[in-house]
Amino acid sequence: MKFNTKVIHAGVEPDSATGAIMTPIYQTSTYVQQEIGKHKGYEYSRTGNPTRAALESSIAQLENGKYGACFGSGLAAIDCVIKMLKPGDQVISTNDLYGGSYRIFKTIFEKYGIEFHFVDMLNVDNVKAKINDNTKLIWIETPTNPMMNIIDIKAIANLVQGSDVIVGVDNTFATPYLQTPLDLGADIVMHSVTKFLGGHSDVVMGALVTKDDTIAEEIYRIQNSSGAVCGPMDSFLVLRGIKTLHLRVQRHSENGKVIAEFLQSHPLVDMVYWPGFESHPNHNVAKSQMSGFGGMVSFTLKGDSLDKAKKIVSKTKLFTLAESLGGVESLIGHPSTMTHASIPREERLKSGVKDSLIRLSVGVEDASDLVKDLENSFL
């Protein structure tokens, strides 16, 4: 099946009891068993729920994977991955990382004896230099949040091919419509389903996908044991959202290009970070591993004024000032005081997260209205 067909049909079958074309919301905590050890495939909804199972299958197929697992949030999914490690293990990740990922690494798992290295992954040699016998996980974001850096998934996966090092990729910004990391050699794909997969700013959820039988067994063990699962109603909402993923991401990408080009020509803007520009670092990598460049755009202001940044984000009308991204509506945010505030300022500055950096999640509205909204915010 082609992708545009997958989003409609993958993982979804008519209900066997009624013929309902949409997967029912199985709002139940437990299931009747015919006798001890004999049931219809479900025992308890923490372990498995038919609505969630349909969603897990759908996301797995969209990522060209074999196994999918959904969680109560994107961070709960990351939590599951790190719980696969043990004290003394080491993780290599990018120095331009979502603040929530950095926070869970540094404030939760570091005190349990897991060591984290944050490097500039634009240069694969920086990753190679940190690999040692204790390296057990390489955690990639691409495009990165919020600097929109592009990391070469295939090149990094090749560094550890044949070893026991797991390569995980946060594919939230790209979505499987634009990028499928498992096809590039990754072992695990993570999504904050809250974002583009859900697409309507009404669900908080995370997901993991893999092809590997052993990794999948461990993911399901931790998912069931820790219990950070999503509910059936949220699963239903995401199943519905996925049916328009291809249409939405196509429009996000088209609008993102218009906004990025407008910002690049604006006299008050210093730098624009969008991987579709030929001048963008690793643009050629983006072209090779992505089918488009998405609707996430970041930019800085000349003079790097925090006050000017605050003024702009408070004046927009269509770009709503809010956390999160990936919904049909356009959002505007200030990473250093919002999504990345948990990262020490000196660390933020090293990766380019300046005080004037503004991040846009470009929605699916009319592009000309969005341009006018930003124009007015600069006045």
Whose CA is closest to 207, among 74, 51, 48?
Answer: 74
Would you tell me how many other CB atoms lie within 10 Å of the CB of residue 248? 25
Taking CA atoms, 44 is separated from 41, 50, 57, 131, 140, in Å, by 10, 11, 19, 41, 34
Amino acid letter, 108: I
Same domain, 20 and 76: yes
Whose CA is closest to 130, among 141, 139, 114, 119?
Answer: 119
d(CA 30, CA 22): 22
Domain count, the chain: 2
What was the pLDDT predicted at 346?
87
Last residue of a domain, one of 242, 268, 303: 242
Q: Taken in order 309, 312, 75, 244, is the CA torsion positive or negative?
A: negative
Residue 72: partners with Cβ closer than 8 Å, 6 or more residues away: 204, 205, 206, 228, 229, 230
d(CA 149, CA 280): 8
Would you tell me how many other CB atoms lie within 10 Å of the CB of residue 99? 19
CATH number, domain containing residue 256? 3.90.1150.10
Q: Are 98 and 298 in contact (CB under 8 A)?
A: no
Domain that holds residue 324: 245-378
CATH number, domain containing residue 16? 3.40.640.10
Q: What is the pLDDT along the chain (379 residues), one digit of tens a residue?
A: 999 999 999 999 999 889 999 999 999 999 999 989 889 889 999 999 999 999 999 999 999 999 999 999 999 999 999 999 999 999 999 999 999 999 999 999 999 999 999 999 999 999 999 999 999 999 999 999 999 999 999 999 999 999 999 999 999 999 999 999 999 999 999 999 999 999 999 999 999 999 999 999 999 999 999 999 999 999 999 999 999 999 999 999 999 999 999 999 999 999 999 999 999 999 999 999 999 999 999 999 999 999 999 999 999 999 999 999 999 999 999 999 998 988 888 889 888 999 999 999 999 999 999 999 999 999 9
Last residue of a domain, one of 177, 208, 242: 242
SS (H, E, C) the chain: CCHHHHHHHCCCCCCCCCCCCCCCCCCCCECCCCECCECCCCCECCCCCHHHHHHHHHHHHHCCCCEEEEECCHHHHHHHHHCCCCCCCEEEEECCCCHHHHHHHHHHHHHHCCEEEEECCCCHHHHHHHCCCCEEEEEEECCCCCCCCCCCHHHHHHHCCCCCCEEEEECCCCHHHHCCHHHHCCCEEEEECCCCCCCCCCCCCEEEEECCHHHHHHHHHHHHHHCCCCCHHHHHHHHHHHCCHHHHHHHHHHHHHHHHHHHHCCCCEEEEECCCCCCCCCHHHHHHHCCCCCCEEEEEECCCCHHHHHHHHHHCCCCEECCCCCCCCCEEECCCCCCCCCCCHHHHHHCCCCCCCEEEECCCCCHHHHHHHHHHHHC
Same domain, 141 and 206: yes
What was the pLDDT predicted at 342?
83
Same domain, 176 and 259: no
- pTM here? 0.96
Same domain, 91 and 224: yes
Taking CA atoms, 244 is separated from 199, 238, 241, 330, in Å, by 9, 10, 6, 17
Same domain, 270 and 185: no
What was the pLDDT predicted at 292?
98
Q: Residue 185 corresponds to which tokens in the numbers above?
A: 């050699």
Q: Are 95 and 120 in contact (CB under 8 A)?
A: yes
Phi, psi of 310 (to 5 degrees): -60, -40
Q: What are 140's strand-pairing partners?
A: 169
What was the pLDDT predicted at 349?
87
Same domain, 156 and 189: yes
Same domain, 221 and 177: yes
Same domain, 264 and 373: yes
What was the pLDDT predicted at 338?
93
Last residue of a domain, one of 217, 242, 267: 242
What was the pLDDT predicted at 68?
98
Q: Residue 320 corresponds to which tokens in the numbers above?
A: 């709503």
Same domain, 279 and 332: yes
Same domain, 251 and 226: no
Same domain, 191 and 179: yes
- Which residue in the block uniquely carries the two structure tokens 């040699």? 125
The residues annotated with a catalytic role in the active site are: 46, 98, 170, 195
What was the pLDDT predicted at 350?
86
Same domain, 176 and 77: yes
- Which residue in the block uniquely carries the two structure tokens 């039988």? 213
Q: Residue 116 corresponds to which tokens in the numbers above?
A: 């984290």
